[in-house]
Amino acid sequence: MPERKPSYLSFNKQSYSWRRDIDYRKNPALYRIGKGEQGVLICEPYKSEILPYWRFKDRSAARESSDKIHELFLGYLQEDDFVGADMARKFLQMGFTRARRYTNYKGGVKYDKSQNYRLNEKGTGDPEKAIAAAIFYEKWKMAEQNPLYKEKKLKWKQREE
């Protein structure tokens, strides 16, 4: 099996589509959907609006957090703000992926820096995070399947091409 290293080691900042100095509410045309969670911790003002609610410590925190973020998602859709809705969807996805990382790896640490970024042993993490991940997964998929969101996303992608 080939050795895998974390992608952040070879990150090319110049080719990254998202910029910290852009207000994506004022300049939505500069927003790119991207893959997965790309841009989620960069795109303002959405990052600052959603991040305070993002928690996955345990099932209770995950439920409260995912409910609030899904509520924000629906609000952005109602305001015809696709960028905000997509960012909320990304936070729901990130709730799932981060909670899974803490399920799979002790302390959420996937790579061991002291061992040339060797992949740590899987299955040593927190089982409570698996429940938190499932809660976020449900809301993430609910957001992705929202008919209005799907319609807006399709139009946005056609505009990006």
pLDDT digits (tens, 9 = 90+) for 68-88: 999 999 999 999 999 999 999
91-105 tens-digit pLDDT: 999 999 989 876 776
- CB-side neighbour CA atoms (13 Å) of 45: 5
Give the chain's mean pLDDT.
86
| CA-closest candidate to residue 84, choices 71, 102, 66, 67 | 71
Residue 7 has pLDDT above 80, yes or no: no
Residue 145 has pLDDT above 50, yes or no: yes
Q: What DSSP state is assigned to residue 23?
A: B
Prior bond of 127 cis (ω within 30°): no
Alpha carbon of residue 126 to chain centroid = 20
Class of residue 62 by CB neighbours under 10 A (exposed 0-12, middle 13-18, buried 19+)? buried
| pTM (two decimals) | 0.84
Determine how β-strand 118-119 pairs with β-strand 111-112. Answer: antiparallel
Residue 152 has pLDDT above 50, yes or no: yes
Does residue 141 contact residue 33 with C-beta atoms inside 8 Å?
A: no
In a 3-state reduction of DSSP, which class is residue 159? Answer: helix
Does residue 58 contact residue 128 with C-beta atoms inside 8 Å?
A: yes
Residue 11 has pLDDT above 60, yes or no: no
Residue 55 has pLDDT above 90, yes or no: yes
Angstrom distances, CA of residue 2 to CA of 21, 118, 119: 38, 11, 11
Question: Looking at beta carbons, which pairs linking 110-119 to residues 24 or more positions away fall under 8 Å?
Answer: 110/6, 111/5, 111/6, 117/5, 117/6, 117/9, 118/3, 119/4
16-38 tens-digit pLDDT: 677 888 999 999 999 999 888 88
